[in-house]
Amino acid sequence: MHRRLSVGLSASALAVLTVVGTATAADAAPADKPQALANWTQTSASSYNAWAAARGNQAAWSAYAFDWSTDYCSSSPDNPFGFPFSMSCARHDFGYRNYKAAGTFSANKARLDSALYEDLKRVCLNYTGGTKTSCNSTAWTYYQAVKAFG
């Protein structure tokens, strides 16, 4: 009986370890989370487009536990002078919130701010003449603000 009891305990211990191990693995974010975050926070239009597609299908990324929340352009207007800056600000928030959560914000802040500026300038490409100049000036002002205070 002594032998049978120790085998039973070993099997129970193994079952508990298996359940705990499975729960831990299921709760953990995928190993490529830092790579996905990096891919979506570069200065290029393709990075912006990849982020926008992922944002539109957040359920597919739920295992990664990204923070998709946003206050858009914070205390600045989301669409200053009618320029639609809100989605650029949302991507900027995404980068800030997720790099802060990862503990690597300071190493990435300058790139995140530059990505915002590039996104805003791409918005301005939709305009011509004085309107485009005004848009670019507003984009520059937003960039300088996040660079200094973000």
Residue indicated by tokens 């299908």: 57
Chain centre distance of CA 143: 18
pLDDT value, residue 6: 43
- Directed axis angle between helix 45-56 and helix 86-102, to 10°? 80
pLDDT value, residue 111: 98
pLDDT band at residue 27 under the 50/70/90 scheme: low
Between the alpha carbon of residue 72 and those of residues 2, 18, 77, the distances in Å are 66, 43, 9
- DSSP secondary structure, 20-64, as one string: HHHHHHHHSPPTTHHHHHHHTTSSSHHHHHHHHHHHHTGGGGGGG
Q: Which of 41, 88, 92, 124 is catalytic?
A: 92
Look at residue 36 and tell me whether its pLDDT is greater than 70: yes
Look at residue 149 and tell me whether its pLDDT is greater than 90: yes
2 catalytic per annotation? no
What does the pLDDT average to over 53-72? 98
Digit-coded pLDDT (tens) for 72-111? 999 999 999 999 999 999 999 999 999 999 999 999 999 9
Q: How far apart are CA 26 and CA 140, in angstroms?
A: 43
Look at residue 13 and tell me whether its pLDDT is greater than 80: no
Count of residues for the chain?
150
pLDDT value, residue 134: 98
